[in-house]
Structure 1
Amino acid sequence: MNCRNFLRTAALSSAAFAFLAFSTSANAQKKYDTGASDTEIKIGNIIPYSGPASAYGIIGKMEEAYFKMINDQGGINGRKITFVSYDDAYSPAKAVEQTRKLVESDEVLFVFGPLGTPSNTAILKYLNAKKVPQLFVATGATKFGEYKTSPWTMGWQPAYQSEGRIFAQYAMTEKPNGKIAVFYQNDDLGKDMLKGLKDGLGEKASMIVAEDSYEVSEPTIDSHIVKMKASGADIFVSISTPKFAAQAIKKVAEIGWKPMFFQSNVGSSVGAVMRPAGIDNAQGVLSLAYAKDAIDPQWKDDEGMKKYLDFLAKYAPFANPAESSAAYGYGQAQTVVQVLKQAGDDLTRANIMKQAASLKDFAPDTLLPGVKINTSATDFYPIEQLRMMRFTGEKWDVFGPPIDSKLGG
């Protein structure tokens, strides 16, 4: 071999070795657990598409539509999202069955946005034992942010206890001598917010003169509302999901009761609650907000809302802009996409939880100005700011500054 050929061969060998070393290094950086590959990220979900909480089914449909948009844009780091969503009918037993199917048969990377306190309670121990992320649960029960006991579980929306404390502060300021009747769903949703209300009232907890709970299996809650009025209360706190929130608002108006009316955020949708209850009946109802109302004209020039409405027109024409649950699903999906972007090529379950706990001032398009998502290894409560709002005309009017309700460390 002459000198020139030797040098050429040596150069080619060096280049091949360098390429091989680069390829090996690049591949070494890619880490996958079940449900992830070079081409796919498989996400599982359970939500009540049927049953007493079926009004929330729109959330799953919105998330599916959002992931379709992401896939149309090329996916996340070249990987397409496969979204597997099952109906649990708001039944804890069915939630367990469907979650096992997602993990053991569908082999998803993680479970995202499972809805409802009863369902999430039922699957929490299983997912933590399996070390499968139960990520951005759609419930504000405080237990879903307790990172020490449930390190694979994280909430998303503000905690119910925070809502209760803020309602208490407002009631004491506006009606310091008022009498409070509390109507609540008989599960962790109701009990958590009731605890927050009592904690917020502190020494004035005696303002509560009546407490009454309902079961989600009840066809109507009219008799409960009549009992609440009979207590002599002039402040009414309704801790209820859409079907029962609408019934409560309507019945309060029908019997001529005019208390200061607080409605929990989960039952405050204009499309799913206020309109079915009757717009006239809903006037003056108070609640708390962390997201923009898509039908409020004040957001017509807001860049985030423009993106959201454009998305609805192209990918979710089935959604009613008046439904707050539609915006909820969009915001949740946008948040999990941010986590996946941060995760890069390390798509292990451990890294998914690490990135979910590393969100800094992230602001989905649908959140109110000043409300941002922040998490850490000791703070599994992503959204911890709320603003008061009052139903006026055909929409909610937000008033006052963001109120920090921080529970995380």
Structure 2
Amino acid sequence: MKIIFPLLVVVTCVAGTIAVAGPQYGPGVTDAEIKLGQTVPYSGNGSPIGIPTAGATRALLQKVNQAGGINGRKINLLSLDDALSPPKTVEQTRRLVESDEVLAIVGSLGSAPNAATQKYLNGKKVPQLFIMSGSSRFLAPKEFPWTMPWPVSSERIGEAYGRYVRQVKPNAKVSIIYQNDEYGREGEKGIRKGLGAEADKLIIAERTYDLTDPTLDSQIVSLKASGADVLFHVSISKFAAQGLRKVNELEWEPIQFVDVPSASIAATFRPVGLDKAVGVISATYFKDPQDPRWKDDPAVAEYIATMKTFAPDIDPYDSNALFGYSVGESLVAVLRQCGDDLSRENLMRQATDLKQVPLSLLLPGITLNTTSEDYAPIKQLRLMRFNGTSWDPFGETMTIP
């Protein structure tokens, strides 16, 4: 799939004989457009995440383009399907960089796919900006100065969950099911960190799954047999749904946590049955558009209107859409900071100099903040519990340094 936004022509005038420094353009930039690239799973296991995430990003950019773009330049996003397959990601990324000559790769989804292109993009000094992965390997500015993630890292989220369990159930019998890759291992590492010195004692069973596994049934049966009373799902939506369904079938009643990427009512809970997900805990840094407390919030109202206008086939209440929309807003904020210096170097300079940048859908008090030494835009979150219809936030906003 390839999405191309229309262009807007802008004429720049220089008066008299006064010397005026002209705009600085990197590849993919003209007076009329800013060409960017992206790889997303529109097919395969990752498509329930990829389609709403990318669709919401496109919706936000279309709204901005309709209003005149960034300083008169419209954003031209080329979004290609990689099916969450690293070899395909490499192929599509090379096409975007070498054939389409994009300014940057933005908002690409998945830990393994982004890892497969990280060295290539850094070697070519192409920004790999606001990628959708919670792996801390993308928070290494000294080694990979051209790579910046967007979400709170899986390790930080896992640590928050572990802290909570340690506080409310100090004698818990913990079990973990996690994806057998960097994403899953990072989450498992964070849970251990949050549980603290007693982690080895508290964790009594762990199982992994591969993206090629047809089901998680055997792993969940094994975890129940361990006698655990807490279960962490460090899984993408498809497998989190499978795990939740099997837990219900077994009439097992542990305290359950799902990772932030799977905290989607549409993609995770509806396939299981909303009533069967009551009590599941996750975390957020977003306003919930379904929560009555935000029904009069102008930013939420604008988000819903934008999605209905530019992405009518995507559920605006899908948590993945919130991510995609926010990535689009983050990208627009950085491009605006760039002014007329739209070189790759300045794009990264501005991305690493975000100071309390607000986004429409972030919870009050949570903003984007980066430096040249700290590439994590968001470091705060809040726990929430599913009530059968929507999420109920609880506790204070947590900062995980």
- TM-score normalised by the shorter chain: which range applies? over 0.9
* 1:167 equivalent among 149, 161, 166: 161
Q: Which amino acid aligns with 2:155?
A: Q
- In the alignment, structure 1 segments of 5+ residues that lack a partner are 1-17
Aligned 8 A contact 1:370 1:402 in 2: no
1:250 aligned residue (245, 253, 261): 245
Cα deviation, residue 65, structure 1 = 2.1
Letter in 1 for 2:104: F
Query: Which residue number in structure 2 is paired with residue 34 of structure 1?
Result: 27
Please give the residue correspondences for 1:231-246 in structure 2 after superposition, counting only pairs within 5 Å: 231-246=226-241
Match of 1:19, SS? coil
Distance 1:21 1:140, change over 3 A: farther
Q: Which residue of 2 aligns with 1:279?
A: 274
Conserved 8 A contact 1:295-1:321: no
Aligned counterpart in structure 2 of residue 58 of structure 1, from 45, 52, 59: 52
TM value normalised by structure 2:
0.94
Pair 1:200 & 2:194 matched = yes
1:215 aligns with 2:210: yes
| 2:311 aligned with 1:316 | yes
1:11 alignment partner in structure 2: none
Moved more, 290-299 or 43-52: 290-299
List 4+ stretches of structure 1 deviating above 4 A: none
Q: What whole-Å deviation, never above 9, does each CA across 1:243-293 have from its counterpart, x for those lacking one?
A: 001111111111011111111111110111111111111010011111122
Q: Which amino acid aligns with 1:276?
A: P
Report whether the alignment pairs 1:19 with 2:19.
no
Partner of 2:9: none
Per the TM alignment, residue 66 of structure 1 is displaced from its structure 2 partner at its CA by 1.7
Residues 186 and 215, structure 1, Cα contact 8 Å, conserved in 2: yes
User: Are 2:354 and 2:368, in contact at CA under 8 Å, matched by a contact in 1?
Assistant: yes
Which amino acid counterpart does residue 182 of structure 2 have in structure 1? D
Partner of 2:270: helix, strand, or coil?
helix
1:228 maps onto 2:223 in alignment: yes
Whether 1:106 and 2:92 are equivalent positions in the alignment is: no
Alpha-carbon distance between aligned partners in 2 of 1:168 and 1:121, rounded to the nearest angstrom:
26
Cα distance in 2 for residues equivalent to 1:251 and 1:394: 21
Identify the residue that residue 7 of structure 2 maps to in structure 1.
Answer: none
Q: Measure how far apart 1:313 and its partner are.
A: 2.0
1:362-401 equivalences under 5 Å are 362-401=357-396
Q: Which has the higher contact order (CA 8 A, sep 6+)?
A: 2
Q: 2:130 aligns with which of 121, 124, 136?
A: 136
CA contact (8 A) 2:166 2:194 kept: no
CA RMSD of aligned residues (A): 1.1
When Rg is computed on C-alpha atoms for both structures, the one with the higher figure is 1
Cα distance in 1 for partners of 2:212, 2:185 equals 17
Structure 2 residue identity aligned to 1:349: R
Give, in whole Å, the separation in 2 of the partners of 1:232 and 1:370: 40
- C-alpha displacement at 1:189, in angstroms? 0.9
Aligned match of 1:115: 109
Shift of 1:20: 3.6
Q: What SS does the corresponding residue of 1:154 show, helix, strand or coil?
A: strand
Mapped partners of 1:62, 1:395: distance in 2: 20
**TM-superposed deviation, 1:125:** 0.2
- Report the identity percentage: 45
3-state SS of 2:279 partner: coil
- Checking the alignment, whether the CA contact within 8 Å between 1:47 and 1:60 is kept in structure 2 is yes
Counting helix residues as a fraction of each chain, which structure ranks higher? 1
Shift of 1:203: 1.3
CA distance in 2, matches of 1:142, 1:29: 38
Contact 2:26 2:342 in 1 (8 A): yes
> SS at the partner of 1:287?
strand
Deviation by residue 1:366-394 (Cα, 9 ceiling, x = unmatched): 11122111111111000110000000121
Bigger shift: residues 206-215 or 309-318: 309-318
Distance in structure 2 (CA, Å) of the matches to 1:274 and 1:369? 26
Q: Which of 142, 147, 152 matches 1:148?
A: 142
Given that 1:371 and 1:402 are in contact with CA atoms closer than 8 Å, whether structure 2 keeps it comes out as no
Counterpart secondary structure, 2:15: helix
Match of 1:91 among 81, 85, 103: 85
Q: Does 1:189 align with 2:183?
A: yes
- Return 57-66 or 237-246, whichever deviates more: 57-66
1:82 alignment partner in structure 2: 76
- Per-residue CA distance 1:212-234 (angstroms, 9 max, x = gap): 10001112111111111011111
Superposition map of 1:338-357 within 5 A = 338-357=333-352
Shift of 1:55: 0.7
Which residue of structure 2 lines up, in the alignment, with residue 7 of structure 1? Answer: none
More displaced, 200-209 or 234-243? 200-209
Shift of 1:62: 1.7
Match for 1:263 among 258, 262, 275? 258
Amino acid at match of 1:354: R
Q: Distance in 2 between matches of 1:218 and 1:401?
A: 37
Q: Distance in 1 between matches of 2:94 and 2:156?
A: 32
What is the alpha-carbon distance in structure 2 between the residues aligned to residue 280 and residue 197 of structure 1? 27
| Number of matched pairs | 386
Instruction: Tell me, in whole angstroms, the C-alpha distance in 2 between the residues paired with 1:275 and 1:19.
Output: 61
Find the aligned partners of 2:166 and 2:58 in 1 and give their Cα distance: 43
Does the CA-based 8 Å contact 1:161-1:193 persist in structure 2? yes
Cα distance in 2 for partners of 1:117, 1:238 equals: 17
Aligned residue identity for 2:137: K
